[in-house]
Amino acid sequence: MAKKATHEQTRIHNTQLVFSTIYERGEISRAEIARVTHLTRPTVSDVVAELMDEGLIEEIGHAPSTGGKRAILLRVDATSRYLIGLDLAREDFRGALIDLRGDIQHRVTLPLQGHDGDAALNLVYALVDTLIAAAQRPLLGIGIGAPGLVDAIDGVIHQAVNLNWRDIHLRDLLEARYKLPVYMANDCQVAALGEYTFGENNRSKDLVVIHIGKGVGAGIVLGGRLFHGNPLGAGEIGHVTVVEDGEPCQCGNTGCLETLINNRGIVRRARALAADMPQSLLNQLVSDPEAITFETVCQAFDAGDEAARQVIYEVGQHLGTAAAYLVGILGGCRILIAGRFLCFGQFLLDAIRATLTRRSLAVLAQASEVDFVSLGGDIVLRGAAALLMHHELGLFPFSR
Ligand SMILES: [Zn+2]
């Protein structure tokens, strides 16, 4: 029995090794695979035949002649499988069909409309149902970026306050319903994986992604591995207190970072500043300060309004303080901002950087970088696909 299990494990290992080698190289011959993997030629041929039977790889013609017989090149057929990626940490639920290169082929957005609890769970089913109906390829599985405290190993959302979810065994529920493998992690961690895997910062071994969705948190990749926390909860910077006796937070504490930079916090500050600055465009865009929304702030910011810029500068200061904590713990690092604040551009980055410089050791601040992620708004969807590909196909050596 034990021997058989070992043989099966070896087979899976070899298959994943050959597949990931083809994936990483783009185009490669059987002989070259044998050379770089140290597998025997017959083993490589067997595995390649199996992967071709499954349609995962294809032959694409001959390599340029090097004198002898011209080798046949292989590559991954990127659209041979689709992956379902879900981003459940926004104002709406988003899902996509994603190919094996991490490119989005089809997307679906369902508005939450204030639903929580079971109604929100039913919306997840509706999202997956819609995606499955649209898929014209075999599905590899489902990857999820979920809000709140997520146990990635057991597939449980322990607490997602916004959705009024507690101890939701989302992985088991989805696996039972769809008979597909399901993997999940916190949205910030998934965002970090997405950037690490598919971003322009490709495989920079250490990076921190501060993701601003409904909440705020950090995903941390160290030495090419995602740092989960033990057993969960790494990077929960949103609930670090930045103002003593500040506004109440939905976590139960007061003055958390999240209370200052979430929609409500931004709007609250904008209304206060608008009252102090009668000339502000904020007052001209709406009938009275109480009607100011996040969108009003964005609009006034785009027009160069002083009060709106002040609001965003302060958001940058709060994020800079969080960045300083991270740099103080991790050392100089690459901090990338993802999520809703991309629209505030260089102005926001400069504010973050200025505060980081003021609040950390000069040498650590100098060794750090602050920038936006390269993947934009799809970062969680594509990160969810990376998580799934890692577990199912042995790609991207980033997990613990
Ligand atoms: Zn809090």
Residue type, 99: D
Question: Ligand 1: distance of its center to the CA of 109 in Å?
Answer: 28
- Could you give phi then psi for residue 3, rounded to 5 degrees? -65, -40
Q: Which domain holds residue 182?
A: 82-197+380-388
Q: Compute, in angstroms, the gap from residue 217 CA to the centroid of ligand 1.
A: 11
Q: How far is CA 373 from CA 55, 70, 133, 265, 282, in A?
A: 33, 42, 32, 24, 29
Backbone phi, psi, residue 382, to 5°: -75, -35
234 in the same domain as 185: no
End of a domain among 76, 99, 117? 76
Two tokens at 279? 């000339």
Q: What angle do CA 238, 241, 243 make, to 5 degrees?
A: 120
pLDDT of residue 108: 98
Between the two ends of the chain, the Cα-to-Cα distance in Å is 28
Distance from residue 353's CA to the centre of ligand 1 (Å): 24
Q: How far is the CA of 323 from the centre of ligand 1 (A)?
A: 17
Residue 331 sits in the same domain as residue 225:
yes
Identify whether residues 64 and 175 lie together within a single domain: no
> What's the rounded Cα separation, in Å, for the pair 126 and 169?
17
- What whole-number distance in Å separates Cα of residue 275 and Cα of residue 282? 9
Q: ω before 42 within 30° of 0 (cis)?
A: no
What is the secondary structure of 130-163 as a DSSP string?
HHHHH--S-EEEEEEEESSEEETTTTEEEEEGGG
pTM of the predicted structure, to 2 decimals: 0.89
Let me know how many helices (H) and strands (E) the chain has, helices first.
Answer: 14, 16
How close is the Cα of 243 to the center of ligand 1, in Å?
11
How far is the centre of ligand 1, averaged over its atoms, from the C-alpha of 100 (Å)?
37
Any domain includes 51? yes
Of the three residues 23, 53, 76, the one that is the final residue of a domain is 76
Cβ distance 189 to 228 under 8 Å?
yes
- pLDDT at res. 324: 95
Distances from the Cα of 4 to the Cα of 7, 8, 9, 378, angstroms: 5, 6, 9, 42
* Nearest in space to 182 (alpha carbons), one of 197, 169, 201: 169
User: Which CATH number characterizes residue 301's domain?
Assistant: 3.30.420.40
Q: Looking at the structure, do residues 21 and 151 belong to the same domain, yes or no?
A: no
209 and 189 within one domain: no
- Residue 223's pLDDT is 83
Residue ranges of the chain with per-residue pLDDT less than 70: 1-5, 201-204, 397-400
Indicate if 230 and 357 belong to the same structural domain.
yes
| CA of 236 relative to ligand 1 center, distance in Å | 9
Same domain, 8 and 150: no
CA of 140 to the centre of ligand 1 (A): 36
- Measured between alpha carbons, how far is 27 from 100 in angstroms, rounded to an integer? 15
Note whether 281 and 370 are same-domain residues: yes
Asked if residue 394 is part of any domain, the answer here is no
Residues 141, 152: Cα–Cα separation, whole Å: 16
Here the contacts of 36-44 (C-beta below 8 Å, separation 24 or greater) are 39/14, 43/14, 44/18
- Residue 237 Cα to ligand 1 midpoint, Å, equals 9
The domain tally of the chain equals 3
CA of 263 to the centre of ligand 1 (A): 14
Residue 318 Cα, ligand 1 centroid: separation in angstroms? 14
> Could you tell me if 126 and 169 lie in one domain?
yes
Instruction: Find the 40 Cα to ligand 1 centroid distance in Å.
Output: 55
Cα of 150 from ligand 1 centre, angstroms = 16
142 and 219 assigned to the same domain:
no
Closest to 308 (Cα-Cα) out of 350, 361, 266: 266
Are 179 and 284 part of one and the same domain?
Answer: no
Is 225 within a domain? yes
Ligand 1 center from residue 234 Cα (angstroms): 15
